């Protein structure tokens, strides 16, 4: 039995980790970290867990936690994980960080986009970017995994094979992304009130959203050259789901079959990636509650562009599900253990 601790277990991503790990036959949660609710019963903070979780919330004591747990999930604001991690802890427990602290290899880029000092740059090179479908083997060997962002996972997986195969020009990539409101977290802000979000849609963080450099770095690896993109997130009146609509100019004369073959080359054996049939556009509802990413595309010869579309559940494949997938790899388990969730519809 793997003992797991969660720092930040009362945010939405942390709560989703709890939901998934409760259904994982090889894991026991031993630490429900939550600075905001210390000593409060977890099931009072998340009443859906009533009678399923008897524990109370504990403070963020990473040192003590490392003694108690085999794996630590940090579902916390940027900067916290980096400020707590050290050699002593990493010797005792593997860390899967759901924040952005170890996602960018270049500390300067991190500090520029996140406006905070990085407290543990010495681990940047060691940390593995936990996009399992791409870095599977490295994840298996890792003791510190940077779990990718929700927008990032969906954006990269939708675009990656076409860059890798030289079908599109990386610097023409435009990612127009749409997210459910759980991505904004459980903080009590006027902007996220029901009446403000419902019956409305807006873009935000235009040209400045922090997931931009993360997408660019990973797409750059795929392309083999530095890539600069436009990334525009939107807030959608729904709880869960991310839809990515990505545009790029074609630099090869390709047919639908060629593009399909490029996707299949990388994804055909991937359990969690579903390449949709021709002309089927992904919908976030079709993946809700599951760890799947659904991908479709459309060639537009009028404009010589391709439209790539991906959908996932931001709390599962975009956060907690991917973290569990990483954990499975790090501990030598079946990668799908605890994650063979059937999407819930409606």
Question: Could you list the active site residues?
Answer: 150
Q: What whole-number distance in Å separates Cα of residue 12 and Cα of residue 298? A: 33
Residues 6+ positions from 178 with CB-CB distance below 8 Å: 201, 233, 234, 236, 242, 243, 244, 245
Which tokens is 297 given? Answer: 């595309």
344 binds a second copy (CB under 8 A): yes
274 binds a second copy (CB under 8 A): yes
59 binds a second copy (CB under 8 A): no
CA dihedral 21, 26, 28, 34 (to 10 degrees): -40
Q: Which of 146, 240, 325, 338 touches a second copy by CB under 8 A?
A: 240
Q: Which one of the spans 88-96, 98-106, 112-120, 273-281 is the region binding a second copy (CB under 8 A)?
A: 273-281
22 binds a second copy (CB under 8 A): yes
Q: Which one of the spans 81-89, 112-120, 272-280, 323-331 is the region binding a second copy (CB under 8 A)?
A: 272-280
Residues 6+ positions from 339 with CB-CB distance below 8 Å: 20, 272, 291, 321, 324, 325, 328
Minimum distance from residue 304 beta carbon to a second copy (Å): 9
Q: Which is nearer to a second copy, 332 or 346 (CB)?
A: 346
Q: Which of 238, 261, 331, 337 touches a second copy by CB under 8 A?
A: 238
What residue has token string 């004591």?
61
203 binds a second copy (CB under 8 A): yes
201 binds a second copy (CB under 8 A): yes
Q: Which of 284, 291, 322, 328 touches a second copy by CB under 8 A?
A: 284
Q: Are 157 and 273 contacting, i.e. CB atoms less than 8 angstroms apart?
A: yes
151-180 residues in contact with a second copy (CB under 8 A) are 171, 174, 176, 178, 180
Nearest-5° Cα angle at 297, 295 to 302: 170
303 binds a second copy (CB under 8 A): yes
Q: Are 274 and 293 contacting, i.e. CB atoms less than 8 angstroms apart?
A: yes
Q: Are strands 71-74 and 2-7 parallel, antiparallel or unpaired?
A: parallel
Strands (E), 68-151: 71-74, 94-97, 128-129, 144-146
Q: Which one of the spans 12-20, 70-78, 101-109, 114-122 is the region binding a second copy (CB under 8 A)?
A: 12-20
306-335 residues in contact with a second copy (CB under 8 A) are 307, 309, 311
255 binds a second copy (CB under 8 A): no
299 binds a second copy (CB under 8 A): yes
Which tokens is 272 given? Answer: 């969690």
84-143 residues in contact with a second copy (CB under 8 A) are none
251 binds a second copy (CB under 8 A): no
């Amino acid at each position: 039995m793997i003992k797991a601790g969660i720092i930040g277990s009362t945010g939405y991503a942390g709560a989703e980790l709890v939901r998934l790990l409760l259904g994982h036959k090889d894991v026991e949660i031993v630490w429900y970290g939550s600075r905001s609710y210390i000593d409060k019963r977890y099931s009072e903070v998340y009443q859906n867990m009533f009678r399923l979780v008897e524990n109370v919330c504990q403070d963020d004591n990473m040192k003590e936690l490392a003694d108690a747990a085999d794996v630590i999930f940090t579902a916390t604001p940027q900067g916290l994980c980096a400020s707590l991690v050290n050699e002593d802890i990493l010797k005792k427990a593997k860390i899967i960080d759901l924040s952005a602290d170890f996602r960018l290899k270049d500390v300067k880029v991190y500090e520029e986009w996140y406006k905070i000092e990085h407290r543990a740059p010495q681990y940047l090179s060691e940390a593995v970017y936990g996009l399992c479908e791409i870095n599977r083997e490295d994840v298996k060997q890792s003791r510190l995994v940077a779990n990718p962002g929700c927008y990032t996972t969906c954006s990269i997986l939708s675009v990656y094979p076409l860059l890798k195969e030289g079908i599109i020009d990386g610097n023409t990539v435009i990612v127009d992304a749409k997210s459910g409101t759980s991505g904004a977290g459980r903080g009590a802000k006027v902007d996220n009130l029901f009446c403000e979000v419902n019956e409305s849609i807006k873009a935000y963080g235009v040209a400045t959203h922090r997931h931009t450099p993360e997408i660019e770095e990973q797409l750059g690896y795929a392309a083999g050259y530095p890539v600069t993109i436009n990334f525009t997130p939107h807030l959608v009146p729904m709880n869960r789901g991310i839809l990515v609509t990505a545009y790029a100019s074609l630099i090869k004369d390709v047919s639908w079959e060629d593009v399909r073959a490029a996707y299949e080359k990388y994804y055909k054996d991937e359990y969690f990636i579903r390449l949709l049939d021709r002309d089927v556009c992904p919908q976030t509802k079709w993946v809700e509650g599951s760890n799947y990413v659904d991908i479709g595309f459309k060639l537009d010869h009028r404009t010589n562009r391709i439209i790539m579309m991906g959908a996932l559940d931001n709390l599962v494949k975009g956060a907690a599900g991917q973290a569990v997938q990483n954990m499975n790899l790090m501990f030598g388990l079946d990668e799908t253990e605890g994650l063979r969730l059937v999407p819930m519809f409606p």
